[in-house]
Amino acid sequence: MDIHGKTIVLTGATGGIGQAIAKSLSDKGARLVLVARDADRLFGLIGQLGDRGHRAVSADLSSPEGRRSVAEACSGGASLLINCAGINDFGMFDEQSADTIRGLIEVNLMSPILLCLEMLPLLEREDEARIINIGSTFGSIGYPGFSTYCATKFGLRGFTEALRRELADSHVGVSYIAPRATRTDLNTDNVVAMNEALGTAMDEPSVVAVEVMRDISGHSIANKYMGWPEKLFVKVNALFPGLVDKSLHKQLPTIRRFAAGKT
């Protein structure tokens, strides 16, 4: 897809990955509808990108009004929707509150699904259009300390797969990009310290942006998994989950220690 002059909606625009994607898209001449809750940060991001006709939409995507405001900002149509907004909560499941669990499901799963529903009529008007959902390796591997987060990303992956097949006879493509651990504010200091203790690599947000741009430019893979050995673990977990069970069981004491805040 040639995105020069095209309108692209990017949620979670002020996050680490969102900012990296926004810069890459803007550099290619796209007109961006940047969506996040914090209006000041949104306008700050637009200032960094320069005066290129970008628009800021401060919205709570968990509300019908917030999703409607995104669609209304695309009155001339939209060629691409990138669902990048997300939150995380590192901790053992029995210590999570019901409100935290509901919030994770609302932001990470319900909101992107319902925004796709809101935006699909606009995307279907275009000769070529695309939906990209940003998931996670944890959308294919259930990992201790991230039970609810994993559930939301498993759900997003399943939704993406089903919607892609449902729209296979249309001109709207649908893809899922699953980063591995990434250096953003989504990960607390305890998560970073745990990853270092376990030898888990963390990518910079720009690495994710590169994969998004590859997908848009035509190098699309239905489900794109990032990082090695993470992409191997995804395949092993699908075929031989017991092997992954044993591997993660060995890591469990370390995970519990960092989840409890004891570094």
- 143, 149, 176, 225: the catalytic one is 149
Q: Is 176 a catalytic residue?
A: no
Query: Is the sign of the CA dihedral 245, 96, 155, 128 positive or negative?
Result: negative
Q: What is the 3-state secondary structure (H, E, C) of 56-68?
A: EEECCCCCHHHHH
Catalytic site residues? 149
